[in-house]
Structure 1
Protein backbone atom coordinates (compact mmCIF):
# COMPACT_ATOMS: atom_id res chain seq x y z
CA UNK A 1 0.00 0.00 0.00
CA UNK A 2 1.29 3.46 -0.92
CA UNK A 3 0.38 6.79 0.69
CA UNK A 4 1.64 10.29 0.01
CA UNK A 5 2.40 12.29 3.18
CA UNK A 6 2.16 16.03 2.61
CA UNK A 7 3.92 18.92 4.32
CA UNK A 8 2.47 21.81 6.32
CA UNK A 9 3.35 25.45 6.79
CA UNK A 10 3.00 27.53 9.95
CA UNK A 11 1.12 30.78 9.54
CA UNK A 12 2.20 32.71 12.60
CA UNK A 13 3.98 31.18 15.56
CA UNK A 14 3.94 32.66 19.05
CA UNK A 15 6.06 31.19 21.86
CA UNK A 16 3.70 31.79 24.78
CA UNK A 17 5.22 30.25 27.94
CA UNK A 18 7.99 27.93 29.09
CA UNK A 19 6.62 24.66 30.46
CA UNK A 20 7.88 22.83 33.60
CA UNK A 21 8.74 19.82 31.39
CA UNK A 22 11.19 21.92 29.36
CA UNK A 23 8.93 22.31 26.34
CA UNK A 24 7.22 25.55 25.36
CA UNK A 25 3.56 26.35 25.00
CA UNK A 26 2.93 27.98 21.65
CA UNK A 27 0.18 28.98 19.30
CA UNK A 28 0.30 28.66 15.54
CA UNK A 29 -1.77 27.90 12.48
CA UNK A 30 -1.00 24.63 10.69
CA UNK A 31 -1.97 24.69 7.03
CA UNK A 32 -1.44 21.62 4.79
CA UNK A 33 0.40 22.10 1.51
CA UNK A 34 0.80 19.86 -1.52
CA UNK A 35 4.52 19.02 -1.53
CA UNK A 36 4.64 15.29 -0.71
CA UNK A 37 6.72 12.24 0.10
CA UNK A 38 5.78 8.72 -1.04
CA UNK A 39 5.55 5.94 1.55
CA UNK A 40 5.03 2.24 0.85
CA UNK A 41 4.62 -0.66 3.27
CA UNK A 42 4.23 -4.34 2.35
CA UNK A 43 4.34 -7.48 4.47
CA UNK A 44 7.76 -9.14 4.56
CA UNK A 45 9.74 -11.79 6.46
CA UNK A 46 11.26 -9.13 8.71
CA UNK A 47 10.83 -5.45 9.56
CA UNK A 48 13.00 -3.18 7.42
CA UNK A 49 13.21 0.45 6.34
CA UNK A 50 14.78 1.95 3.22
CA UNK A 51 14.65 5.34 1.58
CA UNK A 52 15.39 7.18 -1.64
CA UNK A 53 15.30 10.79 -2.76
CA UNK A 54 16.62 13.29 -0.21
CA UNK A 55 19.11 11.65 2.15
CA UNK A 56 17.61 11.14 5.61
CA UNK A 57 20.14 11.67 8.43
CA UNK A 58 20.45 9.30 11.37
CA UNK A 59 20.08 5.57 11.84
CA UNK A 60 17.28 3.77 10.04
CA UNK A 61 16.20 2.25 13.35
CA UNK A 62 15.39 5.73 14.65
CA UNK A 63 13.23 6.75 11.71
CA UNK A 64 9.81 7.91 12.85
CA UNK A 65 8.07 5.31 10.67
CA UNK A 66 9.88 2.53 12.52
CA UNK A 67 9.05 4.20 15.84
CA UNK A 68 5.39 4.44 14.78
CA UNK A 69 5.39 0.75 13.86
CA UNK A 70 6.87 -0.21 17.23
CA UNK A 71 4.40 2.01 19.08
CA UNK A 72 1.33 0.51 17.43
CA UNK A 73 2.82 -2.98 17.51
CA UNK A 74 3.04 -2.74 21.30
CA UNK A 75 -0.78 -2.87 21.34
CA UNK A 76 -1.38 -5.02 18.25
CA UNK A 77 0.49 -7.98 16.80
CA UNK A 78 1.43 -6.55 13.42
CA UNK A 79 3.22 -8.62 10.79
CA UNK A 80 6.74 -7.52 9.81
CA UNK A 81 6.76 -4.86 7.10
CA UNK A 82 9.13 -3.72 4.40
CA UNK A 83 8.86 0.08 4.56
CA UNK A 84 10.17 2.32 1.79
CA UNK A 85 10.09 6.12 1.90
CA UNK A 86 10.84 8.32 -1.08
CA UNK A 87 11.78 11.65 0.50
CA UNK A 88 10.82 14.82 -1.36
CA UNK A 89 9.81 17.19 1.47
CA UNK A 90 12.94 19.15 2.49
CA UNK A 91 14.46 18.14 5.83
CA UNK A 92 15.12 20.71 8.55
CA UNK A 93 12.70 23.06 6.86
CA UNK A 94 9.95 23.56 9.44
CA UNK A 95 7.53 21.68 7.18
CA UNK A 96 6.79 18.69 9.42
CA UNK A 97 7.91 16.13 6.85
CA UNK A 98 9.05 13.49 9.33
CA UNK A 99 5.93 13.97 11.41
CA UNK A 100 3.77 13.62 8.31
CA UNK A 101 5.50 10.37 7.36
CA UNK A 102 4.86 8.91 10.82
CA UNK A 103 1.22 10.03 10.93
CA UNK A 104 0.48 8.72 7.43
CA UNK A 105 2.17 5.45 8.35
CA UNK A 106 -0.17 5.11 11.33
CA UNK A 107 -3.13 5.74 9.02
CA UNK A 108 -1.72 3.26 6.50
CA UNK A 109 -1.41 0.37 8.94
CA UNK A 110 -4.77 1.19 10.50
CA UNK A 111 -6.36 0.78 7.07
CA UNK A 112 -4.18 -2.08 5.83
CA UNK A 113 -4.73 -4.26 8.90
CA UNK A 114 -8.22 -3.04 9.82
CA UNK A 115 -7.16 -2.02 13.33
CA UNK A 116 -10.32 0.07 13.72
CA UNK A 117 -8.45 2.93 15.37
CA UNK A 118 -10.45 6.12 15.75
CA UNK A 119 -9.08 9.52 14.79
CA UNK A 120 -8.47 10.19 18.48
CA UNK A 121 -6.66 6.85 18.89
CA UNK A 122 -4.36 7.64 15.96
CA UNK A 123 -3.74 11.17 17.23
CA UNK A 124 -2.77 9.82 20.64
CA UNK A 125 -0.19 7.52 19.06
CA UNK A 126 1.08 10.39 16.92
CA UNK A 127 1.45 12.76 19.88
CA UNK A 128 4.02 10.38 21.35
CA UNK A 129 6.18 10.79 18.23
CA UNK A 130 6.28 14.57 17.83
CA UNK A 131 4.47 17.75 18.77
CA UNK A 132 3.05 18.38 15.29
CA UNK A 133 2.63 14.74 14.30
CA UNK A 134 -1.02 14.46 15.36
CA UNK A 135 -1.98 17.29 13.00
CA UNK A 136 -1.47 15.07 9.97
CA UNK A 137 -4.05 12.51 11.06
CA UNK A 138 -6.95 14.76 10.02
CA UNK A 139 -4.72 17.04 7.92
CA UNK A 140 -7.06 20.04 7.92
CA UNK A 141 -6.20 23.68 8.77
CA UNK A 142 -6.11 24.14 12.54
CA UNK A 143 -5.24 26.55 15.29
CA UNK A 144 -2.64 24.62 17.31
CA UNK A 145 -1.80 25.33 20.93
CA UNK A 146 -0.14 23.85 24.05
CA UNK A 147 2.96 22.06 22.67
CA UNK A 148 1.44 22.40 19.20
CA UNK A 149 -0.37 19.09 19.65
CA UNK A 150 -3.86 20.36 20.60
CA UNK A 151 -6.09 21.65 17.82
CA UNK A 152 -9.14 23.67 16.92
CA UNK A 153 -10.38 23.36 13.34
CA UNK A 154 -10.31 26.56 11.28
CA UNK A 155 -12.27 27.81 8.30
CA UNK A 156 -9.21 28.76 6.26
CA UNK A 157 -9.01 28.27 2.50
CA UNK A 158 -6.06 29.64 0.53
CA UNK A 159 -6.83 27.75 -2.66
CA UNK A 160 -7.37 30.94 -4.69
CA UNK A 161 -3.80 32.03 -3.94
CA UNK A 162 -0.45 30.77 -5.17
CA UNK A 163 1.83 29.51 -2.38
CA UNK A 164 5.54 29.37 -3.20
CA UNK A 165 8.01 27.62 -0.91
CA UNK A 166 11.72 28.42 -0.92
CA UNK A 167 14.30 26.22 0.79
CA UNK A 168 17.68 27.97 1.05
CA UNK A 169 20.85 25.87 1.59
CA UNK A 170 20.64 26.31 5.37
CA UNK A 171 19.93 23.87 8.20
CA UNK A 172 18.42 25.29 11.39
CA UNK A 173 18.54 23.07 14.46
CA UNK A 174 15.72 23.22 16.99
CA UNK A 175 18.25 24.30 19.64
CA UNK A 176 19.35 27.21 17.46
CA UNK A 177 15.76 28.25 16.89
CA UNK A 178 14.85 28.24 20.58
CA UNK A 179 18.07 29.86 21.84
CA UNK A 180 17.29 33.41 22.88
CA UNK A 181 13.55 33.16 22.22
CA UNK A 182 11.59 35.04 24.85
CA UNK A 183 8.32 33.36 25.79
CA UNK A 184 5.61 35.98 25.92
CA UNK A 185 1.85 35.84 25.32
CA UNK A 186 0.80 37.65 22.16
CA UNK A 187 -1.14 40.89 22.54
CA UNK A 188 -3.48 39.83 19.72
CA UNK A 189 -5.26 36.52 19.23
CA UNK A 190 -3.86 34.56 16.31
CA UNK A 191 -7.29 32.98 15.87
CA UNK A 192 -8.70 36.45 15.22
CA UNK A 193 -5.77 37.73 13.14
CA UNK A 194 -6.07 34.84 10.70
CA UNK A 195 -9.57 36.09 9.80
CA UNK A 196 -8.10 39.30 8.36
CA UNK A 197 -7.52 39.60 4.60
CA UNK A 198 -4.20 37.98 3.64
CA UNK A 199 -2.84 41.36 2.54
CA UNK A 200 -3.14 42.56 6.15
CA UNK A 201 -1.21 39.65 7.67
CA UNK A 202 2.21 41.16 6.91
CA UNK A 203 2.22 43.62 9.78
CA UNK A 204 0.12 41.58 12.21
CA UNK A 205 1.04 37.89 12.04
CA UNK A 206 4.58 37.04 13.19
CA UNK A 207 6.79 33.99 13.66
CA UNK A 208 8.72 34.44 16.91
CA UNK A 209 11.53 32.17 15.69
CA UNK A 210 12.49 34.74 13.05
CA UNK A 211 13.86 37.00 15.81
CA UNK A 212 16.66 34.55 16.60
CA UNK A 213 17.01 32.53 13.40
CA UNK A 214 17.32 35.29 10.80
CA UNK A 215 20.21 37.10 12.55
CA UNK A 216 22.13 33.80 12.61
CA UNK A 217 21.16 32.82 9.06
CA UNK A 218 20.79 36.06 7.06
CA UNK A 219 20.03 34.17 3.85
CA UNK A 220 16.61 33.27 5.28
CA UNK A 221 15.83 36.95 5.77
CA UNK A 222 17.05 37.70 2.24
CA UNK A 223 14.71 35.06 0.83
CA UNK A 224 11.78 36.47 2.77
CA UNK A 225 12.49 39.98 1.47
CA UNK A 226 12.89 38.64 -2.07
CA UNK A 227 9.41 37.12 -1.86
CA UNK A 228 7.96 40.45 -0.76
CA UNK A 229 9.89 42.21 -3.53
CA UNK A 230 8.31 39.75 -6.00
CA UNK A 231 4.83 40.76 -4.84
CA UNK A 232 3.98 38.39 -2.00
CA UNK A 233 0.97 39.43 0.06
CA UNK A 234 2.50 37.58 3.00
CA UNK A 235 5.82 35.84 3.54
CA UNK A 236 7.18 34.02 6.56
CA UNK A 237 9.56 31.39 7.76
CA UNK A 238 7.69 28.14 8.43
CA UNK A 239 8.01 26.75 11.93
CA UNK A 240 11.59 26.89 13.16
CA UNK A 241 12.89 27.16 9.57
CA UNK A 242 14.73 27.12 7.33
CA UNK A 243 12.07 27.21 4.60
CA UNK A 244 10.23 30.42 3.75
CA UNK A 245 6.86 30.59 2.01
CA UNK A 246 5.15 33.39 0.14
CA UNK A 247 1.45 33.79 -0.61
CA UNK A 248 0.79 35.47 -3.97
CA UNK A 249 -2.24 36.44 -6.03
CA UNK A 250 -0.49 35.23 -9.20
CA UNK A 251 2.56 33.09 -9.89
CA UNK A 252 5.69 35.28 -9.64
CA UNK A 253 8.97 35.00 -11.56
CA UNK A 254 11.54 33.75 -9.07
CA UNK A 255 14.32 32.48 -11.32
CA UNK A 256 16.82 34.63 -9.42
CA UNK A 257 16.12 32.59 -6.27
CA UNK A 258 16.50 29.24 -8.03
CA UNK A 259 20.24 29.83 -8.45
CA UNK A 260 20.83 29.53 -4.69
CA UNK A 261 17.74 27.81 -3.29
CA UNK A 262 15.20 25.09 -4.05
CA UNK A 263 11.94 26.71 -5.14
CA UNK A 264 8.63 24.85 -5.07
CA UNK A 265 5.72 26.46 -6.92
CA UNK A 266 1.99 26.04 -6.30
CA UNK A 267 2.44 24.12 -3.08
Structure 2
Protein backbone atom coordinates (compact mmCIF):
# COMPACT_ATOMS: atom_id res chain seq x y z
CA UNK A 1 0.00 0.00 0.00
CA UNK A 2 1.39 3.38 -1.05
CA UNK A 3 -0.03 6.57 0.46
CA UNK A 4 0.89 10.22 -0.04
CA UNK A 5 0.44 12.18 3.17
CA UNK A 6 0.05 15.87 2.41
CA UNK A 7 0.55 18.82 4.75
CA UNK A 8 -1.42 21.93 5.75
CA UNK A 9 -1.26 25.64 6.30
CA UNK A 10 -2.96 27.60 9.07
CA UNK A 11 -5.07 30.50 7.86
CA UNK A 12 -5.37 32.63 10.95
CA UNK A 13 -4.32 31.26 14.32
CA UNK A 14 -5.66 32.63 17.58
CA UNK A 15 -4.48 31.57 21.02
CA UNK A 16 -7.71 31.91 22.98
CA UNK A 17 -6.92 30.64 26.50
CA UNK A 18 -4.67 28.38 28.54
CA UNK A 19 -6.19 25.07 29.60
CA UNK A 20 -5.88 23.29 32.93
CA UNK A 21 -4.12 20.38 31.18
CA UNK A 22 -1.29 22.69 30.11
CA UNK A 23 -2.38 22.98 26.49
CA UNK A 24 -4.01 26.05 24.93
CA UNK A 25 -7.39 26.53 23.32
CA UNK A 26 -6.94 27.82 19.80
CA UNK A 27 -9.00 28.93 16.83
CA UNK A 28 -7.56 28.35 13.37
CA UNK A 29 -8.51 27.21 9.90
CA UNK A 30 -6.38 24.34 8.61
CA UNK A 31 -6.19 24.02 4.84
CA UNK A 32 -4.67 20.99 3.05
CA UNK A 33 -1.70 21.49 0.75
CA UNK A 34 -2.17 18.67 -1.74
CA UNK A 35 1.03 19.03 -3.74
CA UNK A 36 3.55 18.82 -0.89
CA UNK A 37 3.56 15.26 0.41
CA UNK A 38 5.52 12.55 2.14
CA UNK A 39 5.26 9.02 0.75
CA UNK A 40 4.27 6.11 2.99
CA UNK A 41 4.56 2.46 2.07
CA UNK A 42 2.79 0.06 4.44
CA UNK A 43 3.26 -3.66 3.80
CA UNK A 44 2.37 -6.79 5.78
CA UNK A 45 5.57 -8.23 7.22
CA UNK A 46 4.68 -11.66 8.56
CA UNK A 47 6.33 -10.63 11.82
CA UNK A 48 4.56 -9.28 14.90
CA UNK A 49 4.67 -5.55 15.53
CA UNK A 50 5.99 -2.77 13.34
CA UNK A 51 9.28 -2.23 11.52
CA UNK A 52 10.03 1.35 10.49
CA UNK A 53 12.39 2.70 7.85
CA UNK A 54 12.86 6.19 6.45
CA UNK A 55 14.51 7.99 3.55
CA UNK A 56 14.50 11.48 2.08
CA UNK A 57 14.86 14.34 4.54
CA UNK A 58 16.55 13.18 7.78
CA UNK A 59 14.07 12.21 10.49
CA UNK A 60 15.27 13.62 13.81
CA UNK A 61 13.87 11.00 16.18
CA UNK A 62 14.57 7.31 16.87
CA UNK A 63 12.27 4.87 15.13
CA UNK A 64 10.40 3.89 18.31
CA UNK A 65 9.36 7.53 18.84
CA UNK A 66 8.36 8.27 15.27
CA UNK A 67 4.73 9.29 14.90
CA UNK A 68 4.15 6.53 12.35
CA UNK A 69 5.15 3.93 14.93
CA UNK A 70 3.06 5.65 17.58
CA UNK A 71 0.09 5.53 15.20
CA UNK A 72 0.52 1.78 14.71
CA UNK A 73 0.65 1.24 18.47
CA UNK A 74 -2.42 3.44 19.04
CA UNK A 75 -4.45 1.38 16.57
CA UNK A 76 -3.12 -1.91 17.95
CA UNK A 77 -4.47 -1.01 21.39
CA UNK A 78 -8.05 -1.06 20.10
CA UNK A 79 -7.90 -3.44 17.12
CA UNK A 80 -6.05 -6.68 16.34
CA UNK A 81 -3.27 -5.97 13.86
CA UNK A 82 -0.79 -8.09 11.97
CA UNK A 83 2.82 -7.05 11.66
CA UNK A 84 3.77 -4.38 9.13
CA UNK A 85 6.78 -2.69 7.57
CA UNK A 86 6.43 1.07 7.21
CA UNK A 87 8.74 3.02 4.91
CA UNK A 88 8.46 6.80 5.15
CA UNK A 89 10.02 8.93 2.43
CA UNK A 90 10.19 12.40 3.95
CA UNK A 91 9.70 15.44 1.69
CA UNK A 92 7.74 17.87 3.89
CA UNK A 93 10.16 20.02 5.93
CA UNK A 94 10.14 19.40 9.67
CA UNK A 95 9.85 22.14 12.26
CA UNK A 96 7.86 24.15 9.76
CA UNK A 97 4.34 24.38 11.20
CA UNK A 98 3.06 22.38 8.20
CA UNK A 99 1.98 19.29 10.15
CA UNK A 100 3.99 16.80 8.11
CA UNK A 101 4.60 14.39 10.98
CA UNK A 102 0.99 14.63 12.09
CA UNK A 103 -0.15 13.84 8.56
CA UNK A 104 2.10 10.79 8.43
CA UNK A 105 0.54 9.47 11.66
CA UNK A 106 -3.01 10.05 10.43
CA UNK A 107 -2.32 8.38 7.10
CA UNK A 108 -0.84 5.37 8.88
CA UNK A 109 -4.09 5.08 10.84
CA UNK A 110 -6.08 5.34 7.62
CA UNK A 111 -3.81 2.85 5.88
CA UNK A 112 -3.99 0.28 8.67
CA UNK A 113 -7.77 0.58 8.71
CA UNK A 114 -7.86 -0.26 5.01
CA UNK A 115 -5.12 -2.91 5.05
CA UNK A 116 -6.70 -4.90 7.88
CA UNK A 117 -10.35 -4.07 7.10
CA UNK A 118 -10.86 -2.65 10.58
CA UNK A 119 -14.06 -0.79 9.77
CA UNK A 120 -13.24 2.21 11.95
CA UNK A 121 -15.37 5.28 11.36
CA UNK A 122 -13.87 8.68 10.60
CA UNK A 123 -14.77 9.76 14.13
CA UNK A 124 -13.05 6.73 15.66
CA UNK A 125 -9.92 7.35 13.60
CA UNK A 126 -9.96 11.02 14.57
CA UNK A 127 -10.11 10.11 18.27
CA UNK A 128 -7.11 7.84 17.88
CA UNK A 129 -5.26 10.54 15.93
CA UNK A 130 -6.05 13.21 18.52
CA UNK A 131 -4.26 11.14 21.13
CA UNK A 132 -1.05 11.37 19.09
CA UNK A 133 -0.98 15.11 18.40
CA UNK A 134 -3.16 18.20 18.48
CA UNK A 135 -3.43 18.60 14.71
CA UNK A 136 -3.22 14.91 13.76
CA UNK A 137 -7.00 14.41 13.66
CA UNK A 138 -7.29 17.03 10.91
CA UNK A 139 -5.57 14.73 8.40
CA UNK A 140 -8.04 11.88 8.80
CA UNK A 141 -10.76 13.65 6.78
CA UNK A 142 -8.06 15.90 5.26
CA UNK A 143 -10.36 18.74 4.22
CA UNK A 144 -10.50 22.45 5.13
CA UNK A 145 -11.67 22.77 8.71
CA UNK A 146 -12.05 25.20 11.57
CA UNK A 147 -10.02 23.74 14.43
CA UNK A 148 -10.79 24.66 18.02
CA UNK A 149 -10.04 23.14 21.43
CA UNK A 150 -6.35 22.26 21.28
CA UNK A 151 -6.79 21.73 17.53
CA UNK A 152 -8.66 18.44 17.58
CA UNK A 153 -12.25 19.81 17.47
CA UNK A 154 -12.97 20.09 13.75
CA UNK A 155 -15.78 21.70 11.77
CA UNK A 156 -15.71 21.68 7.94
CA UNK A 157 -15.40 25.10 6.29
CA UNK A 158 -15.51 26.30 2.70
CA UNK A 159 -13.05 28.91 1.46
CA UNK A 160 -13.06 30.22 -2.15
CA UNK A 161 -9.36 29.55 -2.79
CA UNK A 162 -9.52 27.23 -5.81
CA UNK A 163 -7.36 28.58 -8.61
CA UNK A 164 -5.22 30.83 -6.42
CA UNK A 165 -1.49 30.17 -6.30
CA UNK A 166 0.30 29.20 -3.12
CA UNK A 167 3.97 29.72 -2.29
CA UNK A 168 5.42 28.15 0.84
CA UNK A 169 8.84 29.28 2.06
CA UNK A 170 10.83 27.57 4.83
CA UNK A 171 14.04 29.37 5.89
CA UNK A 172 16.83 27.56 7.69
CA UNK A 173 15.35 28.46 11.07
CA UNK A 174 13.85 26.38 13.86
CA UNK A 175 11.06 27.59 16.13
CA UNK A 176 10.26 25.36 19.10
CA UNK A 177 6.54 24.92 19.63
CA UNK A 178 6.85 25.07 23.42
CA UNK A 179 8.96 28.22 23.13
CA UNK A 180 6.41 29.84 20.82
CA UNK A 181 3.50 29.11 23.19
CA UNK A 182 5.46 30.37 26.19
CA UNK A 183 5.83 33.81 24.61
CA UNK A 184 2.25 34.44 23.49
CA UNK A 185 -0.47 35.97 25.66
CA UNK A 186 -3.87 34.27 25.16
CA UNK A 187 -6.77 36.57 24.34
CA UNK A 188 -10.40 36.15 23.44
CA UNK A 189 -11.00 37.27 19.81
CA UNK A 190 -13.52 40.01 19.20
CA UNK A 191 -15.26 38.04 16.44
CA UNK A 192 -15.15 34.51 15.00
CA UNK A 193 -12.32 33.74 12.57
CA UNK A 194 -14.71 32.35 9.96
CA UNK A 195 -16.43 35.73 9.79
CA UNK A 196 -13.14 37.43 8.90
CA UNK A 197 -12.38 34.74 6.31
CA UNK A 198 -15.76 35.28 4.65
CA UNK A 199 -14.41 38.59 3.30
CA UNK A 200 -12.39 38.68 0.03
CA UNK A 201 -8.86 37.27 0.23
CA UNK A 202 -7.41 40.70 -0.47
CA UNK A 203 -8.82 41.99 2.83
CA UNK A 204 -7.37 39.22 5.01
CA UNK A 205 -4.13 41.14 5.51
CA UNK A 206 -5.94 43.54 7.86
CA UNK A 207 -8.41 41.02 9.29
CA UNK A 208 -6.67 37.65 9.78
CA UNK A 209 -3.61 37.23 12.01
CA UNK A 210 -1.40 34.49 13.45
CA UNK A 211 -0.94 35.29 17.16
CA UNK A 212 2.49 33.65 17.20
CA UNK A 213 4.00 36.09 14.72
CA UNK A 214 4.88 39.11 16.94
CA UNK A 215 6.98 37.17 19.45
CA UNK A 216 8.42 34.72 16.91
CA UNK A 217 9.40 37.49 14.48
CA UNK A 218 11.13 39.34 17.31
CA UNK A 219 13.43 36.37 17.93
CA UNK A 220 13.65 35.26 14.28
CA UNK A 221 13.71 38.43 12.14
CA UNK A 222 14.41 36.46 8.95
CA UNK A 223 10.84 35.14 9.17
CA UNK A 224 9.48 38.67 9.25
CA UNK A 225 11.64 39.46 6.23
CA UNK A 226 10.20 36.50 4.31
CA UNK A 227 6.68 37.69 4.99
CA UNK A 228 7.55 41.21 3.83
CA UNK A 229 9.06 39.80 0.64
CA UNK A 230 5.94 37.73 -0.07
CA UNK A 231 3.86 40.89 0.09
CA UNK A 232 6.41 42.79 -2.00
CA UNK A 233 6.17 40.28 -4.85
CA UNK A 234 2.37 40.48 -4.86
CA UNK A 235 0.83 38.19 -2.27
CA UNK A 236 -2.79 38.98 -1.50
CA UNK A 237 -2.27 37.41 1.91
CA UNK A 238 0.85 36.15 3.67
CA UNK A 239 1.27 34.49 7.05
CA UNK A 240 3.34 32.13 9.13
CA UNK A 241 1.89 28.62 9.35
CA UNK A 242 1.40 27.27 12.85
CA UNK A 243 4.24 28.35 15.13
CA UNK A 244 6.67 28.42 12.19
CA UNK A 245 9.12 28.41 10.68
CA UNK A 246 7.36 28.14 7.29
CA UNK A 247 5.52 31.09 5.79
CA UNK A 248 3.22 31.20 2.81
CA UNK A 249 1.72 33.64 0.38
CA UNK A 250 -1.55 33.40 -1.57
CA UNK A 251 -1.37 34.97 -5.04
CA UNK A 252 -3.83 35.61 -7.85
CA UNK A 253 -1.12 35.18 -10.52
CA UNK A 254 2.05 33.25 -11.16
CA UNK A 255 5.16 34.78 -9.60
CA UNK A 256 8.86 34.04 -9.85
CA UNK A 257 10.81 32.96 -6.79
CA UNK A 258 12.82 36.01 -5.66
CA UNK A 259 16.56 35.87 -5.12
CA UNK A 260 16.05 36.35 -1.37
CA UNK A 261 14.65 32.79 -1.18
CA UNK A 262 17.61 31.17 -2.97
CA UNK A 263 18.87 29.25 0.09
CA UNK A 264 15.41 28.38 1.42
CA UNK A 265 12.94 25.56 0.80
CA UNK A 266 10.25 26.81 -1.62
CA UNK A 267 7.13 25.02 -2.79
CA UNK A 268 4.57 26.38 -5.24
CA UNK A 269 1.25 24.99 -6.42
CA UNK A 270 -2.14 25.99 -7.72
CA UNK A 271 -4.75 25.49 -5.01
CA UNK A 272 -7.28 22.91 -6.07
Q: Return the alpha-carbon distance in structure 2 between the equivalents of residues 180 and 133 of structure 1.
A: 24
Structure 2 residue 198 is matched with structure 1 residue 195 = yes
Specify the SS of the correspondent of 1:266: strand
Number of aligned residue pairs: 267
Structure 2 counterparts to residues 25-44 of structure 1, below 5 A: 25-34=25-34, 35-44=36-45
Aligned position for 1:10: 10
CA contact (8 A) 1:179 1:212 kept: no
* Per-residue deviation, 1:20: 0.7
Aligned to 2:93: 90
Matches within 5 A, 1:166-205: 166-205=169-208
Tell me how far 1:253 sits from its aligned partner.
1.4
TM superposition shift of 1:37: 0.4
In 2, are the aligned partners of 1:119 and 1:137 still within 8 Å (CA)? Answer: yes
Specify the alignment match of 1:160 in structure 2: 163
Give CA deviations for 1:166-194 in whole Å, capped at 9, x if unaligned: 00000111122112200001112101011
**Residue 262 of structure 1, CA deviation:** 1.0
SS in 1 for 2:222: helix
* In 1: Cα distance, 2:182 partner to 2:92 partner: 25
TM-score (norm 2): 0.96
How well do the aligned residues superpose, as a CA RMSD in angstroms? 1.0
Aligned to 1:11, the other structure's residue is in SS state strand
User: Which of 192, 215, 220 in structure 2 is aligned with 1:217?
Assistant: 220
After superposition, give the CA deviation of every residue in 1:25-67 in whole Å (9 maximum; x if it has no partner): 0100000012100001111135210111110101110001101
Q: How does 1:16-165 map to 2 (within 5 A)?
A: 16-34=16-34, 35-44=36-45, 45-46=47-48, 47-165=50-168
CA distance in 2, matches of 1:23, 1:255: 38
Partner of 1:76, secondary structure, is coil
SS of alignment partner, residue 242 of structure 1: coil
Q: Which shows bigger deviation, 184-193 or 253-262? A: 253-262
Give structure 2 stretches of 5+ with no counterpart. none
Task: Give 1:77 deviation, angstroms.
Answer: 2.0
Decide which of 204, 209, 213 is 1:206's aligned counterpart: 209
What is the rounded CA distance, in whole Å, between the counterparts of 2:30 and 2:183 in structure 1?
Answer: 24
8 Å CA contact 1:177–1:240 kept in 2: the answer is yes
TM-score by length of 1: 0.98
SS at match of 1:17: strand
User: Structure 1 regions of 5+ residues with no counterpart?
Assistant: none
Determine helix, strand or coil for the equivalent of 1:206: coil
Deviation at 1:69, TM superposition (A): 0.5
| Separation (CA, whole Å) in 2 of partners of 1:171 and 1:50 | 24
Measured against aligned partners, the alpha-carbon deviations of 1:173-228 in whole angstroms (never above 9, x if no partner) come to 11221122000011121010111100000011000000111110011000000000
Structure 1 residue 135: Cα displacement:
0.5
